[in-house]
């Protein structure tokens, strides 16, 4: 099969049958476009012509690029290539998978950056600053919900008003379209109620009718990029020197729960992690906090 057709078929598969997000599919598309271009430069245009040696050469060349790519980016690139060829072999389009011996790079284990509780409160309070009450109420509700649920920003901007139908919980659709139910605390409920009664009706009048919970200034559904900017502007007003992103609130949610005594498997369920091993990275943050308390409190720790 021509490589371009093979890539299109694979992207349709991961989008429709596996239900991966548009963001993930777009990232795979970029990775595979570069891979197909690299193969074309070596006169390879058909998937049957790809060998294990070519795949290994491609991976080695990308790993030694300048500036060096992040391990996570390199791992995703290899995952894209491996997924393509596994798909072709599984569908019987090709007899063999040339990526069988390709080993992903070892990603550096980095602890997630979490804000302190005081920093989170400063960030949330900063959304109330400004002259536009309509937008301020929306921004407060958005950030309160992100911190209250630990949901990904892509999950929150896809919420419909009906997903809040039960009041004290929210229905979130995660990776692979898997649904999970997350409790919503009183602060977030109050912020959402203020937004739904005093802000969203006005924003809705500015655009076409949509069931989406969070709306932009012109009434259209709020995008991931706009949500990111909301957080950046709030962080600037709160004068937080640490880098703050939507994922920072997710990290802070998990860290603060564990520091408060939550079971790691409960946090796993709330975050929507497929494996508890993914969640356990946050336990390292809590261990660091325990170590600090021990070092300053125990009479024979120093």
Residues with active-site annotation: 152, 175, 247, 250, 273, 282
> CA 180 to CA 64: how far, in whole Å?
41
Are the beta carbons of 46 and 3 closer than 8 angstroms? yes
Which DSSP letter does residue 14 get? I
H-helix segments, the chain: 3-12, 22-40, 52-63, 71-90, 117-126, 133-149, 153-157, 186-198, 200-205, 224-237, 246-259, 264-271, 276-279, 281-297
Are the beta carbons of 6 and 84 closer than 8 angstroms? yes
CA dist list (Å): 291 to 78, 232, 278, 285, 302: 38, 31, 22, 10, 12
């Amino acid at each position: 099969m021509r490589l371009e057709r093979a890539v299109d078929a694979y992207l349709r598969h991961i989008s429709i049958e596996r239900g991966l997000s548009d963001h993930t599919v777009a990232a795979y598309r970029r990775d595979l476009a570069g891979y197909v271009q690299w193969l074309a430069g070596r006169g390879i245009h058909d998937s049957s012509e790809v060998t294990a040696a070519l795949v290994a050469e491609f991976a080695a060349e990308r790993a030694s690029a300048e500036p060096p790519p992040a391990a996570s980016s390199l791992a995703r690139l290899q995952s894209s290539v491996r997924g393509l060829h596994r798909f072709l072999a599984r569908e019987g389009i090709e007899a063999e998978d040339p990526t069988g011996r390709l080993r992903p790079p070892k990603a550096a284990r980095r602890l997630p950056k979490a804000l302190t509780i005081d920093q989170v409160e400063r960030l949330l309070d900063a959304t109330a600053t400004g002259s536009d009450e309509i937008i301020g109420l929306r921004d407060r509700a958005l950030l309160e919900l992100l911190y209250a649920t630990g949901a990904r920003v892509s999950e929150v901007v896809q919420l419909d008003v009906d997903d809040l139908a039960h009041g004290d919980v929210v229905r979130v659709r995660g990776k692979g379209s898997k649904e999970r139910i997350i409790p919503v605390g009183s602060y977030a409920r109050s912020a959402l109620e203020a937004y739904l009664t005093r802000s969203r009706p006005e924003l809705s009048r500015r655009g076409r009718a949509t069931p989406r919970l969070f709306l932009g200034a012109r009434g259209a559904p709020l995008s991931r990029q706009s949500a990111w900017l909301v957080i950046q502007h709030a962080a600037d007003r709160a004068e937080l020197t640490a880098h703050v992103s939507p994922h920072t609130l997710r990290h802070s949610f998990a860290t603060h729960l564990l520091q408060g005594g939550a079971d790691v498997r409960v946090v796993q369920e709330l975050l929507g992690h497929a494996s508890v091993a993914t969640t356990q990275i946050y336990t390292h943050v809590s261990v660091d906090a325990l170590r600090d308390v021990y070092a300053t409190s125990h009479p024979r720790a120093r």
